[in-house]
Structure 1
Amino acid sequence: MPRRQFMSNETAKDFLRETDWLKKAPISFQDAVLARGYFASFAAGKVICDIGDPPGGMMGVVKGHVAVSAVTQEGFPRLGHIMRAGDWFGVAAILVREPRRIRVVAQVPLQMFVLPLREIDAIIDAPSTRSDAWRHFARIILSNQDVSVGASRDLLIRDSKVRCFAVLLRLGGFRRGRSLAEAEPELDLAQEELAHLANLSRNAIGTILRELQRTKVIEIAYKRLKILKPAVLIGQVIEYERNHP
């Protein structure tokens, strides 16, 4: 599963303008965001932000993907989602000026766009963007809330195979209808983590994944899998949801 090269800054800016969040904002706001931020790269395994960190800038994934974990009642971080190219995060901590509530870790070599807190404040205060800036930033919160609600909804799917398919699609970026979803997304997670996310036993997950690999819907490697035929999974989930409204 080879890694692709990072984008040039100009190509990355064009990519970010087409993300679900930024493309809905006026050009003046897009220009302000891209002019005030910067690009950064991180090695696989690097903690981008952690639970309890002071509020900082917001970030957009350009290349690669990150594991997003929230703390359990016992105080341990557990994987909850994978954010992919085109996803943005970090706005909630900015708006309320409270410590971070999630841990974000680079799962592969990562290219990010970073918009520092001071630059966000500058955009909010600037005469050219002041009237609508809060609304545009808040849209990221609503978008990420949709992911959380969708994840909860998927866990209500009674059919264990379809529930697993829905989780795979969410982690691969397909459950929100994202225009920038990758053709064959990679998921860096252990089968035990997938079992936790789908509320299934490891044995049940193993059986489902082996069948998907046999039919060449996915490719399995050590602590990683690649969705080769997302359309097959999408079709199964749509059919189930149509028959179980």
Structure 2
Amino acid sequence: LVARREGGEPLQYLEGIVDFGPITLKIDRRALIPRPETERVWEEAVVSLRSAGPGTVIVDLGTGSGCLALALKHSFPEARVIGVDVSSEALALAAENAEFTGLEVEWLQGDLFTALPANLQGRIDLIVSNPPYVATGDHLPGEIVDHEPRLALFAGPQGTEVLARIAEESFWWVGIGGWVVCEIGDGQREEVDGLFSAFDREVRMDLAGRDRILVARKGASCCV
């Protein structure tokens, strides 16, 4: 363990466990380490949705370890919660975490919305995501880039490519009054605000006072 830590491996991977909101999760190199910024996504999602019954549908895009999906299932136990990821390794970890927490979530493999059944279009109440939002040319600390999955970090040359897809496609998947809550990169506020211009939206701060959490709602006025 000492050698692994001296080699820059994150402490969370060495411990193999991490607290996230109301739950405790297993974590390893199959998925990104859940961070406080992502907990803010969970917090804003809970405040936005307020309540959920058996007909409520929540989708976590790029679920990774399952942290957001499982924390939301804990907060809204009656809701149908779906976690999507393109990585089979990440989904295996998410499934282990579902068993570890005793929470029931549906796991689907695929690239964002392509994994979802078509009958959910226009029926989702809440979409959450901590998507890749780092530009391929950006420098990251070795502790992150050498140990955490690159697929979950880098979005493309601009850094907002995945967020742009979520903005465009989520409009057709959420119902009227439905919410989209996403983690975004520091400095991306203006661009992301433009990407989500079809929604009523606001970018909120993380615990460090940086604009990192997009909260968007599909209003009736945008669908007349």
Q: TM-score, normalised by structure 2?
A: 0.27
Counting helix residues as a fraction of each chain, which structure ranks higher? 1
Q: TM-score, normalised by structure 1?
A: 0.26
Larger radius of gyration: 1
